[in-house]
Structure 1
Amino acid sequence: MKSLILYKNMRIRKFNILIILLMVFSFGINIYAGTQDHLNSASDGFGSGVKSGNSEDYKLYQNFPNPFNPATIISYKINQSGFVSLKVYNLVGQVVTVLVNENQEAGTYSTQFDASELSAGIYLYKLQINGFTSVKRMTLIK
């Protein structure tokens, strides 16, 4: 079941709600918390249910610079080892590139995303590890 829960004290602009709705219907995820800059979900990212995962053990940072052209750095921190997946999606929900798809030890990591072959627009990047999922958006300008 797809669900969208927004907390009363959040200030979300119409544009950000559109992004959230696109993610709900494109990715099929259950969203339990969201802000203007990022979304955290307790699901596996594709709507198959809630999985365990301590969000204090993982952190996906906002890319820098943002907006960017043609490349940006995406960083994340994991306090437990596990299989890490970091993918970039377009707003239609298609995978644009896979940045990380491997087992990693605890630590802080950074990877460069080169979007020189892509058109300008908004892209989403999603970190998944040990049942934890976090999605953020970034803007490519040309």
Structure 2
Amino acid sequence: MVKIYINLNENPNGIKFLDRLTGFLAGNNMAIFKTTDGGLTWNRKTQGGGYPIVGLHFFNDMEGYAFTSGSLTYPVRNVYYTSDRGETWSEKDSMPAFGFVDFFNRQNGMALISGGYNDPSITIGVSRDGGEWYKEDLPIPLTGTFMKMADPSTAYIFGQNGTIIRFKDMSYTSIEDEETAGIINTFSLYQNYPNPFNPETVIRFALPEAGFVKGVVYDILGREVTTLLNGEMNSGNHEVKFDAVGLSSGVYFFRLEAGKYSSAIKMVVNK
């Protein structure tokens, strides 16, 4: 049996279903359509006038990313994020990357950057916080065509003429690895996740030694909003939740002080 659905007036580039009824279709002109009735009807969730959406990736029923590109042979232009099951999308980051992107989990992702047939080369874009990307050039004169992550630090790249390349990010160390090895010798304040967020986000940090710790949230004018941490803490990896219920949309800062160490991150509340 064949059934023809309504014309969406955009060329499709990909489709993703979360369950039997809820799905998303990516298309040209920055189009993301959503269905909640198994594809019988589709509603557009983004405005037009942008690059084509070439990829969709969901971590769970609520959170996901969309990637735009000039075409399948041009760099990815923007990364968009949703935290409300695809009802709204906000720009999270821009990155120079090919249109093949994969995430192992909400924190760890990789993007395949290929020079094309006239410039056979491969570069991997790596994200460790779900938003900020850095590049690693591979000394391989090939053009990659597809990529899939096997774990947070490993990806397999499929290239021309049946070539398979295994990429290992040697700089990656998981929290579990650090705890197992007992290697917490540096002070680190990680970017909160999700960011932007509404209303709750998680802030992770690492302490090389025990001591008094203070963590305060400030608004963009430097006024204190709330104190999240104020007491003695052991060395190791920690996390604290920040609930922005009652706060308006905008930029906020979290400053962490622990003995001789201090650091700050920028957080965005998007309601």
Q: Is TM > 0.5 for Structure 1 vs Structure 2?
A: yes
Q: Which runs of 5+ in 1 are unaligned?
A: 1-36, 38-55
More helix by share: 1
**1:124 is matched with which residue?**
253
Identity of aligned residues (%): 39
Deviations 1:75-117 (A, max 9, x none): 1100101100111000111110100000111011111100011
State the Cα RMSD in Å.
1.2
Distance in 1 (alpha carbons) for counterparts of 2:217 and 2:229: 10
Aligned counterpart for 2:210 among listed residues 81, 87, 90: 81
Residues 1-142 of structure 1 mapped to structure 2, 5 A cutoff: 57-142=186-271
Deviations 1:13-63 (A, max 9, x none): xxxxxxxxxxxxxxxxxxxxxxxx8xxxxxxxxxxxxxxxxxx62100100
Structure number with bigger Rg? 2
Q: Which letter does structure 1 place at the counterpart of 2:232?
A: N
Between 1 and 2, higher relative CO (CA 8 Å, sep ≥ 6) is seen in 1
**2:176 is matched with which residue?**
none
More strand by share: 2
- Across the two proteins, how many residue pairs are aligned to each other? 88
Q: Which runs of 5+ in 2 are unaligned?
A: 1-131, 133-184
Point out 4+ residue stretches in structure 1 off by more than 6 angstroms.
none
